[in-house]
Amino acid sequence: MSDSEQDQPPRPPRLVLAAIVFVVGLGADLWSKAWAWNNLKPPGKPVTVIDPLFELSYSFNTGAAFGFLNRFSWAREFFIVVTLLAMGYMLWLALKMPTAKRYGFVAVALVASGAAGNLHDRIVRANDAGQHGVVDFLKINYPWGGSWPTFNIADVLLLVGVGLLFFYLRAYEKTQAEREAEQDDEEDADTDVEQPSAPA
């Protein structure tokens, strides 16, 4: 992704904003997981926040967000590679994307911080059986019974970041299309002006 940087804010302040969002998001995720590991992991008990809809309940996930692919032995290596690629792509976006919209850089930082938080767990955390995985502890219960798969703050950061990034990219494509249409109109107008009139 590239665009003319004329009349756009300088990139360094946008990168500083992204770095701050990244550090805050990653810090919140790692701190909350450490708290859940120390306080909710058995023999710790779940903590009810909004009875019966929301609780803090320890879960150890060897797959991806919301337990995706948690039954496969190769899930850890697969998601480590995917996460590193995703973080590299977020860095590339931050260095190349137009600087006009702050929320694009916030989106990139949210995705990167969520990815980094879960990557940390996949590398350093293991259960009693020696399986590496991610600490989940946010649990939403349905009023009619059952619950959404347990998740963590990193999953929330990823979800919000991807949503913002999608919105940013759609807005960018729309702006580019409008700009190209304006350029085509200007070229057509110039052609009409330069074209010699037919002799009478």
List, for residues 86-137, the tens digit of each pLDDT value.
999 999 999 999 999 999 999 999 999 999 999 999 999 998 888 888 999 9
In a domain, 17, yes or no: no
In a domain, 3, yes or no: no
Total of domains in the chain: 1
Q: Considering 121, 155, 185, 188, which one is annotated as catalytic?
A: 155
In a domain, 6, yes or no: no
155 is catalytic: yes
Q: What is the pLDDT of residue 71?
A: 63
Given a cut of 70, the residues of the chain with pLDDT beneath it are 1-6, 63-73, 184-200
Domain that holds residue 125: 22-175
Q: What is the pLDDT of residue 131?
A: 85
In a domain, 180, yes or no: no
Q: What is the pLDDT of residue 129?
A: 85
Q: What is the pLDDT of residue 19?
A: 98
Our measurement of the distance from residue 158's CA atom to the centroid of its chain's CA atoms, rounded to an integer in Å, reads 3
In a domain, 100, yes or no: yes
In a domain, 115, yes or no: yes
Which tokens go with 104? Answer: 């694009």
Q: What is the pLDDT of residue 186?
A: 63
Q: How far is the C-alpha of 116 from the C-alpha of 112, rounded, in Å? A: 6
Q: What is the pLDDT of residue 197?
A: 55
188 is catalytic: no
Do 56 and 47 touch, CB atoms closer than 8 A?
Answer: yes
In a domain, 31, yes or no: yes
In a domain, 101, yes or no: yes
Q: Considering 136, 184, 185, 190, which one is annotated as catalytic?
A: 136
The pTM for the full model equals: 0.83
